[in-house]
Amino acid sequence: MKRVFSGIKPTGHLTLGNYLGAMRRWAAVDQHQADALFCVVDLHALTVDHDPARVRRLSRQTATLLLAAGLDPELCTVFVQSHVDEHTRLSYVLECVATDGEMRRMIQYKEKAARERARGGSVRLSLLTYPVLMAADILAYGSDEVPVGDDQVQHVELTRDLAVRFNQRYGHTFVVPRATRPGVAARVMNLQDPTSKMGKSDDVGPGVVYLLDEPDVVRKKVMRAVTDSGQDVVYDRETQPGLANLLEILAACTGGEPEELSGAYASYGDLKKDTAEAVIETLRPLRERHRELCADPSYVEGVLAAGAGKARAMARPVVDAAYRAIGLLPPVVEPVLNAAR
C-alpha cells in the first residue's frame, strides 16, 4: 500500500483554501486509498513572529478541524509534529545535504522574508531552513505521495532533489516522493485580491473565508468579492482572476467544471449568490462536527497521543538508517556496555 504524508501549519485559522486545496482530499480520498499520515506541523509555526499561547491554541484547533473535516483515526494517523523527535533529528542531517543557494531560491522564503524586512523586522534563520524540515517530515515516513495545494509544490520538488542526492551519495535510504494536486481549487485566491493566495496568516481577512466563519459572514465575504470589469461571466484566470476564483470555488464545492459553470450565469450577482450558498453547505457538516468535538477535548488528545506513537514507530527506523548511511556512529547499546565493564 502506498504511503501518503501531508501537513498543515497552525499559524492562523484554517481557510477555505486549506480545505479545498488539501484537507478535503485527505479525508475523501487519501485516507481510504493509502497508509496515510496527517500532521499538525507546529514547529513550522515558529519560523515567524509568534505568540506561544496562540500557537498552542491553534495547534489544538487545527487537529480538531482535521478530525471535523472527516479524518478518521481508524483509517489514518493524525498527530502533532513536535511530539515526534524524528522530524528534527532528520532535518539536521538533510541540512548537510541541502545548499544555502537552494534555500534562498524558495519562493515562499523570498516572499515572506521580503514582507518581514519591509515591516522592519528580522528574518528567523528557521524561515530559511523551513523547507528542509518539511523534507524531513515527508522523507521520515517513506512517503510516496504528498497531497498539497499549488503553493507547496516547489517544497515537494526540493524534497525530491534532497532524497535523490542523499541516495546517490550515501546509498539508497529514502523513497522519492511526488506531489499530488487537486484538479480544481489548487490555488484558492483572496476574495479581495484575486492575484494573491487566500492565506490563513492574514489576520484580518475580509477576503479570506475561514472554516469556522458563521454562514452570514461567509455570505457577506463572497458577495463582496472583487470581480473584474466587464459584463460576461467567462472563465479566464489571466484576464478575469476574480471571476475565475469564484467559478473555481463553486466548481470545487459542487463537483462541476469552472468553464461549464461560467456558461450557466448571466450576472456576477447570481454567481456570487450560488457560490456563497455552495460554500456554506460544503462547510456545514465540518462546522457541526467541530462543535461536537470541542465538547470532548479528551477524545482529540487521545487521537493525538495514539497518532504520535504510531508515527514514531514508523519514522524511527528510517531516520536511524539515514544516520548510519551518512556516517554517524551507532550508539552502543546497554548490554554491550555492561559486558565491557
Active site members: 112, 197, 200
Stretch that binds ligand TYM, among 99-107, 142-150, 290-298, 317-325 (CB under 6 A): 142-150
d(C-alpha 305, C-alpha 308), whole Å:
5
Q: Which residue among 41, 98, 243, 251 contacts ligand TYM (CB under 6 A)?
A: 41
Residues in region 195-224 near ligand TYM by CB under 6 A: 197-198
Q: Which residue among 18, 77, 129, 262 contacts ligand TYM (CB under 6 A)?
A: 18
Residue 205 and residue 213 in contact, taking contact as beta carbons nearer than 8 Å:
no
Residue 138 and residue 176 in contact, taking contact as beta carbons nearer than 8 Å:
no
Rounded to a whole number of angstroms, the minimum distance from the CB of residue 189 to ligand TYM is 7
Q: 180 in helix, strand or coil?
A: strand
* Residue closer to ligand TYM, measured from CB, 299 or 312: 312
Handedness of CA 301, 307, 313, 317 (dihedral sign): negative
The reply on whether position 277 binds ligand TYM by CB under 6 A is no
Q: Which residue among 4, 8, 243, 251 contacts ligand TYM (CB under 6 A)?
A: 8
d(C-alpha 250, C-alpha 258), whole Å:
8
Q: What are the residues whose beta carbons fall under 8 Å from the beta carbon of 157, sequence distance 6 or more?
A: 179
d(C-alpha 158, C-alpha 106), whole Å:
9
Stretch that binds ligand TYM, among 72-80, 180-188, 269-277, 291-299 (CB under 6 A): 180-188
The reply on whether position 62 binds ligand TYM by CB under 6 A is no
Residue 166 and residue 174 in contact, taking contact as beta carbons nearer than 8 Å:
yes
- Shortest CA distance to 76 belongs to which of 121, 30, 12, 123? 30
Q: Which residue among 148, 249, 283, 322 contacts ligand TYM (CB under 6 A)?
A: 148
The reply on whether position 91 binds ligand TYM by CB under 6 A is no
Rounded to a whole number of angstroms, the minimum distance from the CB of residue 338 to ligand TYM is 40
- Shortest CA distance to 134 belongs to which of 118, 154, 104, 113? 154
Q: Which residue has the cell 542526492?
A: 165
* Residue closer to ligand TYM, measured from CB, 188 or 280: 188
By CB under 6 A, name the binding residues for ligand TYM: 5-9, 17-18, 21-22, 41, 44, 134, 137-138, 146, 148-149, 151-152, 155, 186-188, 197-198
